[in-house]
Structure 1
Amino acid sequence: MTLIQDLESRLAAAFQTVLGESVSAPVVAAADLRFGDYQSNAAMALAKQRKTNPRALAEQVIAAVDLGGLGTADIAGPGFINFRISPETYAARAKEQLADPRLGVPEAAEKHTIVVDFSAPNVAKPMHIGHIRSTIIGDSLSRIASFLGHRVIRDNHIGDWGTQFGMVTWAWKQILDEKALLADPLLELLRLYRFANDAKKADEAVAEACRLELVKLQQGDEVNFAIWQRCIELSRAGLDKIYDRLDVSFDHWLGESAYNDALAPLVDHLIAEGIARESDGAVCIFSNGVPEDKAKDPFLVRKDGEWIDFPMIVRKSDGGFNYASTDIATIEFRNKEWNADAAWYVVDHRQSLHFQQLFAVAGRVGLGEMDLRHISFGTILGTDGKPLKTRAGDLPQLADVLDEAVAAARIAVAERSRVDTDEERAELAELIGISAVKFTELSHHRLSDYVFDLEKMLALQGDTAPYLQNSVVRCSSIFRKLEDPVDLAAVNPVFTEEAEIHLARLIARYGEVVPMILDDHRPNLLANYLLELARAYHSFYEACPVLKAEEQVRDSRLVLCSLTSRVLTHGLGLLGIRCPERM
C-alpha cells in the first residue's frame, strides 16, 4: 500500500465517522512542500454538496482521523487538509522498499488483456523519423502495463498489403538490382517504390500497369505472390535491425494481409445488419444520429454552414478494400481470438478522425465493451522549429537518425568517458546515443511537439538520459569504494537531515507515480519523476557525506543510495533505457 492509499483509507474512515456514510476522500501529493507532503480537498467538495462550512467539516475530520504515527494533519485556507509525513515513516518505508523487488509499486487492482498496436511501418519502405514516436511510446506503455500486472499483447500491424505493392512489383520486374537488394533490402525496395512513383506520375500507362500488378497479386498470381513474400521477408530482416537497436520486440506481426479473407464476409455482414450501405458504387458507413450533438459525430462535417455526410468507406467502388475495413476486422479478431479487453492504438494525431469513426463502428457491431484508445502524439521538429526533414525535403530515415545520435555520443564518450577500450567506448556510445533519443521522446507530453537537438539530448547536465545514467553510475561508485560490504537489509535507517528526508520522500513516491502513467498514457510522468529524483540525489550527495559519516549515519545514507540506484535503473527500464556500469 502506498502512502496515498494509506492516507485515503484513513481519511475516508474519518469522514464516515463524521458524516455517518461512506465517501471517497482523494489525496494527492502536495504541489508546495511548505504546506506538507500530501493534501486533500475532499472536505471542500463534500461540504459544498451538503451546503455546510468546509473548514468546520475539515476540523471535525482532523479530530477523527487516526494517522497511526504516519505524521500530522492540519488545515489550510477554506478547508484543505494537509498531511506532513514523519521522518520515521519515511525511514520505515525505505526499509520496506529495500526488501521489495517491486520497490513499492502495487500491481493493478483489476488486470486486463491489452493489445498495444504500435510502430506499424509499411513493408518495402525504410522506417522514418515519423515512426520513432509510435515505437518508443508504445514500447514504454507496454513495459509499464506488463509490470503493473496486465496481460499485454504487442502487435506490429505492419502495412504489408495495398497500392505500394503494385508499384514495387512493377518496378521489380523493370529495374531490380539483386546485389543491392541483398546488401540493403529496404534501401533497394525504397528505390523501386520511388522509381514507380515517379514513372506513374509521368505516364498514365505506368499507373495502370502498377494497378494491374496489384490486381494480379490480390488474385493469387504465383510470380507476384512470390515477389510479395520476398519483400515481406527482406523488409522484416531490415526492420528487425532497427528494433534490435531500440530494444523493442513484438508478440505478433499481424499486418493488413492477415485479415484479407475476413474482409468480404465482414462487409457483407455490415450491409446485412444495416450498418453499411452502397453509395456511388462504394460501400459506406454513415451517421446513425449518435451522438445527438452533430459536432461530436465523426460521420458528419460542417461545410458552408450545413452538416453533410462524411462516411467511412469499407469497400471501394472498384471492389477493393481499404485500411478501414481491415481495422474493423482487426478489432473483431483481437476480441474473439485474444479475448482482449482493450486495444491501444499508438498512432499520429492526424489519424484522430479515422479512429473516432472506427471506434464508433466497433460499438455498432457489438464490440462496445472493448476499451479502445487512440494514443495520439505530436510532431518532431528540427532546430528551425519546423517538422524535421532532410535537405531534399524527405522525412529522415530512422536508421540515419540513430546513427547520427550514436556518432554524436561517440564524440562525447571520447572526451569524457572513463572506459578503457575502443570496444567499450563503441558500446557505450551506442547505449548513450539510443538512450538519449528515447528519453527525449518520453520526457515530453506525447501530444506536444518537440525539437530534435542532439547537443541538448546528450548533455550530462539537464533533463537528459545521460544525466540519469550518470546518476546511477555515481550511486554505484559509492559501493565500490566501501572497504567492507554492508548488509543493508539489517539496517534500520534514521533520517534527520532535510536532504535525506526529501530523497526518501521522492523514493517513496515511486509506487504512486508508476500506476498514474496509464491514466492518460503519459510516460513523461515517469521521466519527469526520475529527473526530480536524480536532482534530489545530487543535492543529497552534496549536502550529506556518505562514506565519511559515522557508521549508523553512513548505513542509513547507503540505504538511500541503494534505493536511488534501484529506482532510477528500474524506472529507466520501464522507459526502455538501460544503464551502463561505467561512463
Structure 2
Amino acid sequence: RQNHIGDWGTPFGMLIEHLLEVGEDSAEADLLKTDPNAFYQAARGKFDAAEAAQEAGAGTPGPEGGDFASRARQRVSTLQSGDAESLRIWTNLVELSKQYFHRIYDMLGVTLTDEHLAGESSYNDLLEAVCTDLEAAGIARISDGALCVFPEGFLGRDEQPLPLIIRKSDGGYGYATTDLAAIRHRTTTLGADRIAYVVGTAQELHFQMVFSVAREAGWLPEDVQAQHVKIGSVLGEDGKILRTRSGSSLRLMALLEEAVATARTVIEELRPDLPEAEREQIAHDIGIGGVKYADLSTAHDSDYTFDLDRMLALTGNTAPYLQYAVARIRSISRKAAAQGITAAAAPQVENDAERALALALLEFGPTLAAVGAEFEPHRLCAYLFSLAQAFTSFYEASPILKESDEGIRAGRLALAQLTEQVLVDGLDALGVNAPQQM
C-alpha cells in the first residue's frame, strides 16, 4: 500500500508562509486544529490575491503584498532543500493532517495506517538522481534555465514540443520529478507489475507524459501496467464542483456525520423497537454505505451531483436498497429456522424466475474479475442492483415459507441464501456493510 500523504508542493508553501505571518501562537493558527480547511482557504485567498496583484503590476513586497505568492513558491524550494525551520513547521502541519485523516479513516472503515505513508516528500532524496540520470541518458536537457524532457508526440497549442519540467529554473522540483521517482521506486524496489493512479481527470496529460518519459528511461518496463484511473468531479445542487481548497468550506467529516444523522432519523421512525446500540450501528452502515456506494456506482471518469436524499433512498440503485434486500433474506432465514425449515444443499431451479436468478448469480465471478481488471467498480454496483431486482422477481413468483412441497421449499431457500451471500460479498468488495436487519 502506498498512501500518498506528505505533499510539499505549492500548497504547503502557502500554508507555511501564512502561518509565519499570523504567528504560530495566534488565534488564527488554532484553526489548524479545529478547522484546517478554513486555515488553508485563508492562505489560498492571500496567494490568489497576490497572484492577481502581480499580474496587474500592483504587487508590493511585504506580508500582505503581491510578494506573498513569490515567497510561498520560494518556501517550497527552501523546504525541499532541508531547511530546519521549514521542516519543523511542515512536520507539524502533516501531523495535524494525519490526525484528521485517521478520524476519516475510522469513519469510513479504511484500514490504512502510518506505515503505509509514502507521499511526495518521501521521495525527496531520490529527486536529484532522477535529474542526473535523465540528463546523463540524453533524455533531459536545459531549456530556459530549467531541466526538461520533451517526450515524443506531445505538442503545445503553438505546435511546439511540450516540456515536462524535471527541475525548475530556481532549483526546485515539481510533481513530474516526484512522480518519476515514485514510479521508478515502485517498479524497481517494490516490484510492482500494475500501478493505478486514482487522480482527477484534469491530470490526464501530466500522467501520459510521465508514463512516456518513464518508459523511455527504462523505469517503466513494457510488462508493467501503469494506468491513470481518471476521477470525475462531485457537483453541488447548483451544478458546480464541490470544493475544499477554494470557495465555500466543505468538510468531509461533517458530510459523513450528516449522512449518518439522516439515516438515524429514518431508523428511529421505522424501527423504534430495536435496541439503541443496534439502531446506531444500522444508521452508521446505511449513512456511510450510502455515500460510498453513490460515489462508486458512477463511472469513475464521470461527474455526479451530491444528493444525500438520493444516496439514502430505499429505492433505485443505492446501498440502502441492496442492504434492505440482504436484511429481507436474513429475515426469511430466521423465520425458516424458527419453523424448522432448512435449506437444500444446492439451489433448485423449477421456474423462469428461479432460472433468471440462478443465471444472475453465475455472473458474480466474471463481473468481479472484470471490475478488478478494468478498475470499474460501477459495474459491480450495476450487477448487484440487477441481482437484487432478480431476487425480488423470484420472491414474488416463488414463495418460500408458504410452499408446501418440502423439496421445492428447501431449494428456494438455498437459492435465497446464496443470493444473500453474493450480495454481502459484493457489498463488502465495495467497502459497504450489510446490517442484520433494517
Partner of 1:175: 23
* Residue 226 of structure 1: aligned partner: 88
Contact 1:267 1:315 in 2 (8 A): yes
- Among candidates 183, 195, 215, match of residue 343 of structure 1: 195
Distance 2:329 2:103 in 1: 33
Aligned equivalents of 1:347 and 1:225: distance in 2?
Answer: 27
Q: Is the 8 A contact 1:186 1:234 kept in 2?
A: no
Residue by residue over 1:260-280, the C-alpha shift from the partner in whole angstroms, topping out at 9 and shown as x without a partner, is 111111101111111010000
What's the counterpart of residue 182 of structure 2? Answer: 330
**Where does residue 221 of structure 2 map in the other structure?**
368
Contact 2:204 2:230 in 1 (8 A): yes
Q: Does 1:278 align with 2:132?
A: no
Q: Distance in 1 between matches of 2:13 and 2:237?
A: 37
The aligned counterpart of 2:345 is: 491
Q: Under a length normalisation based on structure 1, what TM-score does the superposition of the two structures give?
A: 0.67
Q: Give, in whole Å, the separation in 2 of the partners of 1:273 and 1:543.
A: 70
**How many Å apart are 1:383 and its aligned residue?**
2.9
CA–CA separation in structure 1 for the residues paired with 2:309 and 2:361: 30
CA offsets 1:355-385 (integer angstroms, 9 cap, x no match): 1101101111112322110111222222333
Q: What is the letter of the counterpart of residue 319 of structure 2?
A: A
Instruction: Indicate conservation of the 8 Å contact 1:157/1:254, yes or no.
Output: yes
Structure 1 counterpart of 2:129: 265
2-side partners of 1:199 and 1:491: how far apart?
Answer: 68
CA distance in 2 between counterparts of 1:358 and 1:399 reads: 33
1:461 aligns with 2:315: yes
Instruction: Name the counterpart of 2:209.
Output: 357
Q: Is the counterpart of residue 165 in structure 1 residue 38 in structure 2? A: no
Q: Cα offset for 1:248? A: 1.9
Larger displacement relative to structure 2 (318-327 or 417-426): 417-426
- What corresponds to 1:420 in structure 2? 274
Ranges in structure 1 where 5+ consecutive residues have no aligned partner? 1-153, 289-296
Question: Is the partner of 2:196 in helix, strand or coil?
Answer: strand
For residue 394 of structure 1, what is the aligned residue in structure 2? 248
Give TM-score scaled by structure 2 length: 0.88
- Deviation sequence 1:73-93 (CA, Å, 0-9, x none): xxxxxxxxxxxxxxxxxxxxx
User: Per-residue CA shift, 1:401-443, capped at 9, x if unaligned?
Assistant: 2223223222222222355234433332222111111111121
Q: 1:6-51 deviations in whole A, cap 9, x for unaligned?
A: xxxxxxxxxxxxxxxxxxxxxxxxxxxxxxxxxxxxxxxxxxxxxx
Task: Specify the alignment match of 2:65 in structure 1.
Answer: 203
Aligned partner (choices 291, 294, 309) of residue 440 of structure 1: 294
Deviation at 1:234, TM superposition (A): 1.6
Does the alignment pair 1:569 with 2:424?
Answer: yes
Report matched runs for 1:12-161 at 5 Å. Answer: 154-161=1-8
Does the Cα contact within 8 Å between 1:345 and 1:374 map onto a contact in 2? yes
Distance 2:26 2:65 in 1: 26
Q: Quote the offset at 1:176 in angstroms.
A: 3.2
* Residues 228-283 of structure 1: per-residue CA shift (max 9 Å, x gap): 21212221111111122111233621011111111111101111111010000001
Please state how far the C-alpha of 1:338 moved relative to its aligned partner.
Answer: 0.8
Query: What is the distance in 2 between the residues matched to 1:355 and 1:185?
Result: 34
The percent of aligned pairs where both chains have the same amino acid is: 42
Q: Give the counterpart letter for 2:430 in structure 1.
A: L
Structure 1 residue 476 corresponds to structure 2 residue 339: no
* Contact 2:31 2:38 (C-alpha < 8 Å) held by counterparts: no
Flag the 1:178–1:241 CA change in 2: closer, same or farther, 3 A. Answer: farther
- Partner Cα distance (2:29, 2:341) in 1: 58
Pair 419,343 (structure 1): closer, same or farther in 2 beyond 3 Å: farther
- Quick one: which of 98, 101, 105 aligns to 1:239? 101
Equivalent position of 1:193 in the other structure = 40
> Residue by residue, what CA displacement relative to the aligned partner does 1:185-240 show, whole Å, maximum 9, x if unpaired?
2624x444344444452403444544554454334333332222121222111111
Shift of 1:324: 0.3
Q: How many angstroms does 1:184 deviate by?
A: 6.2
Kindly tell me the number of residue pairs found equivalent between the two proteins. Answer: 415
1:269 partner amino acid: D
Do the aligned partners of residues 375 and 213 (structure 1) sit closer, same or farther apart at CA in structure 2, a change above 3 Å counting? closer
Say whether the 8 Å CA contact 2:126–2:181 is kept in structure 1: yes
CA pair 442-211 structure 1, distance change in 2 beyond 3 A = closer
Q: CA distance change for structure 1 residues 192 and 532 in 2, over 3 Å: closer, same or farther?
A: closer
How many angstroms does 1:396 deviate by?
A: 2.6
What residue number does 2:54 align with? none
- Aligned AA for 1:171? H
For residues 98 and 261 of structure 2, what CA distance do their matches in structure 1 show?
A: 25
Aligned partner of 1:556 among 407, 411, 414: 411
Check 1:496–1:284 CA distance in 2 against 1; reply closer, same or farther (3 A cut): same
Which residue identity is paired with 2:184?
Answer: E
Aligned to 1:55: none
Q: 1:324 to 1:186 in 2, by over 3 A?
A: farther
RCO higher in structure (CA 8 A, sep ≥6): 1
User: Which amino acid in structure 1 is aligned with residue 265 of structure 2?
Assistant: I
AA of the residue aligned to 1:271: E
Rounded Cα–Cα distance in structure 2 between residues aligned with 1:286 and 1:348:
23
2:356 to 467, 491, 502: 502
Contact 1:388 1:395 in 2 (8 A): no
8 Å CA contact 1:186, 1:235 repeated in 2: no
Q: Residues 493 and 431 from structure 1, CA distance in 2 versus in 1: closer, same or farther, beyond 3 angstroms?
A: closer
Deviations 1:308-335 (A, max 9, x none): 1211001001010111000000001011
Could you tell me how far 1:487 is from its partner in structure 2? 5.2
- The gaps in structure 2 that reach 5 residues or longer are 51-63
**Distance change in 2, residues 1:510/1:209 (3 Å):** closer
1:279-294 to 2 correspondences below 5 Å: 279-288=143-152
- d(CA) in 1 for partners of 2:242, 2:71: 34
